Amino acid sequence: MKKVAILTSGGDAPGMNACIRAIVLTAEHYGLEVIGYKHGYNGLIEQEYKLLAPVNVNNIGQRGGTILKSGRCVDFHTEEYGRAAAKNLLDLDIDALFVIGGNGSFRGAHHLSKYYNGQVIGLPGTIDNDISGTDATIGYYTAIETALDSIDKVRDTADAFERIFLIEVMGRHAGFIALSAAVASAADRVIVPEDCGDIEVEVDNLIEHLQAVYRVRGLSSYIVVTSENLLPGGVITLANMISEKTEIECRPVILGHVQRGGSPVSQDRILAAKLGAYAVEQAIEGHNAVMVGEHNNQLVTLPIEVSWQQQKPLDKYLLKVQRQLLNL
C-alpha cells in the first residue's frame, strides 16, 4: 500500500477535520501518501482533489466543518457513476478510500466497492448518531452540547413569561440528540420517532402531563424537545395542535443547522482521532468494504452494510428516566 484518499460526504459534523488530521498523520507514520477529494462523491467523479501532507492539517482539529468540503450526490448509486469513480481512483493509483459520513455516504461506499478493486473503509461522521455498530458517531457529542446551550437559553425566556416552548432538534429520523438534550436540559417532555406512535395520542398525553405539572408547580414554563420529521410541518404543526386543544400559546423553536457547526467538544475530537488512526491500520491489514467504530470502549471493524441494515436503538433506560422519573 502506497497511496490512500479521503472524502467527507453528506451532512458535515464537528470532528470531521480532526478525523482527517488523524488519517493524514497516521498515514505519514506508515509512509503512505494521502490525497483528499473535495465536495464528497462529486469531487471523486470530477477528479477534484488536493494532496494532504501533515502541514495541510496543522491546527484543524479544533475547527468545525470540513476542509475538504462536503456534498450530496444523488446519482452516485448508478452503475455509470460507480464505474467513473472507480476509474478515477485507479488512475491515481489509490489503494484505499476512506469515507467519513453517515448512512447515505456508507451506502455510496458500498456501491463503489462493487466496481473498485481497491479498499473502501467508512468512518461514522454524523451528528444524528444513527449508525449501527458504534456507540457514538463523530459530531454527535458536539450537537448535544449545541442543542443544550440553546435549550438553556430558551428556558430563561420561558421562565420569564411562564410559557410553553417546543424545541425541534435535528436527527433526521432518529431521536438520539433529542433524548440526550432533553435529559441534560431537564426538559419537561421529549418526543422521539422511536417512541411515538399516533401523534394525536402523543399530544393528548403531553397535555395531560402539562396539566399535572401545573397542578404541582402552578403556572410555569414548560419545555418540550422534539425530533425533526415527526409530522408534516414539524414543530410548528405540533405547536398549533397543542394550542388548539389547550387554548394556551405554544412557541415553536427550530434549532436547525446551528447544530452542525461549532468547534468539536473533547469527546468528538478523541473519537475522531481514534477512528482515523484505526481506519488506516485496518486498511494496511487489508480490510475492505467495512466500517470502523467503537463499542464498549473497544475499537471494532464491521461490514459496512451493518450501518443501515440494523436499526440502532435508543437507550431505553434514559427514555424511562426522562418520561417517568424526572418529569415533574
pLDDT at position 310, please? 86
Query: Taking Cα atoms as reference points, which of 41, 45, 32 lies closest to residue 105?
Result: 41
pLDDT at position 175, please? 95
Residue span of the structural domain in which 289 resides: 3-139+264-309
Q: 246 and 293 share a domain?
A: no
pLDDT at position 165, please? 96
pLDDT at position 196, please? 85
Query: Cα 139 to the chain's mean position, in Å?
Result: 6
Buried b (16+ CB within 10 A) or exposed e, 182-210: bbbbebbbbbbbbebeeeeebbeebeebb
In a domain, 88, yes or no: yes
- Cell digits of residue 17: 477535520
pLDDT at position 260, please? 93
Residue-wise pLDDT for 258-280, tens only, equals 999 999 999 999 999 999 999 99
- Cell digits of residue 120: 473502501
Q: Which residue's entry shows cell 502506497?
A: 2
Go through the chain and tell me how many residues it has: 328
pLDDT at position 94, please? 98
pLDDT at position 326, please? 76
pLDDT at position 172, please? 85
Q: 152 and 48 share a domain?
A: no
- Cell digits of residue 15: 470532528
DSSP state of 322: I
Q: Into how many domains does the chain fold?
A: 2
Known active-site residue 128 = yes
pLDDT at position 262, please? 95
Q: Which of 202, 233, 260 is the last residue of a domain?
A: 260
Residue 118 burial (C-beta neighbours within 10 Å; 0-12, 13-18, 19+): buried
Tell me which residues of the chain have a pLDDT lower than 70: none
Q: 217 and 272 share a domain?
A: no
Secondary structure element (H or E) that encloses residue 280, with its range: helix 266-284
Which of 12, 91, 95, 128 is flagged as catalytic? Answer: 128
CATH of the domain at 191: 3.40.50.460
pLDDT at position 42, please? 96
Give the C-alpha separation, 218 to 126, whole Å: 40
pLDDT at position 31, please? 98
CATH of the domain at 121: 3.40.50.450
Q: For residues 195 and 316, is the Cβ–Cβ distance under 8 A?
A: no
